[in-house]
Structure 1
Amino acid sequence: MTKKRFDWTLSNLFAALLLVVGIGLLLWLLITSFGTRLSVEAAVTAGVLLLAGLVFLHPTPVTILAPMIGLISLSAGYATYFSAHSWFSALVAIVMMVAILSYGFNLRQALRRRHSSWSH
């Protein structure tokens, strides 16, 4: 199995923009409005931006995928904690997001591999 080379296509540039904006939004919420309703909305928005960025990034390097899945999951946990005020709920949200995202991106890779074997 050969390793795919990463190219800067329009899709990858858009993905990079989404990832940078999502991380910037997370940093902004942590610095300016930690624990407020606005920060909960910003955390959810940042998580969606990061997820969209991962979807557009092809091929997704593991060095980017793993930390982004962590940030998305922590964003979900942050939003859950400050919405429900429950550490247990936040922990469940983090674990569920890690499981769903890991499975989803692994499934995408498996489908790509299977599709490439169909074309040959």
Structure 2
Amino acid sequence: MTSKFTWTLSHLFATLLLIIGSGLLLWTLSTNFGTHLSVDATVTAGMLGLAGLVFLHPIPFNILAPAIGIISLTLGYATFYSTAHSWLSASIAVIVMVAILSYGFNLRRALRQRHNQWPA
């Protein structure tokens, strides 16, 4: 059972975080690709996106899936340029992040559904 999405102050804040994070990500990758500054900026952009997802509930799937992918790729990018350019460690970081985020948002949905069934 899905609930209808309505705009609230929380959703506006989440949208602002997602837009700022996406803008920071695009700016840093287009101007400073492969530098230490871009690593820091991509991690910051990923955390802004993650915070945006936390404030956005219920999360529409067409926003959740790409956001999880982008956040995971930012971690992979940071891992790749922070290590000795290891594709293996970057790939593992992306896979682990996708698993953690997918499980976390699925767990939150399950807890919210079960909360409705708790006795008063």
Could you state the TM-score of these two structures normalised by the residue count of structure 1? 0.96
Matched, 1:41 2:40: yes
Provide the residue aligned with 2:107 in structure 1.
107
SS of the counterpart of 2:98? helix
Q: 1:25 to 1:103 in 2, by over 3 A?
A: same
> TM-score under structure 2 normalisation?
0.96
1:7-38 C-alpha deviation (Å, 9 max, x unpaired): 11000000000000010011001110000000
> Where does the alignment leave 5 or more consecutive residues of structure 2 unmatched?
none
Write out the 4+ residue segments of structure 1 that deviate beyond 4 Å after TM superposition.
none
Residue identity matched to 2:73: L
Rounded Cα–Cα distance in structure 2 between residues aligned with 1:71 and 1:104: 16
Q: Percent of pairs identical after alignment?
A: 67
Change (3 A) 1:18 1:119: farther
Q: Which residue of 1 aligns with 2:66?
A: 67
- In the other structure, the counterpart of 2:91 is 91
Q: For residues 11 and 119 of structure 1, what CA distance do their matches in structure 2 show? A: 28
1:47 is aligned with what amino acid? G
Q: Which has the higher helix share?
A: 1
Q: Determine the structure 2 residue equivalent to 1:11.
A: 10
1:118 is paired with a residue of what secondary structure? coil
The Cα of 1:80 is off from its aligned counterpart by 0.2
Q: How many corresponding residue pairs?
A: 119
Instruction: Give structure 1 stretches of 5+ with no counterpart.
Output: none
Separation (CA, whole Å) in 1 of partners of 2:91 and 2:113 = 33
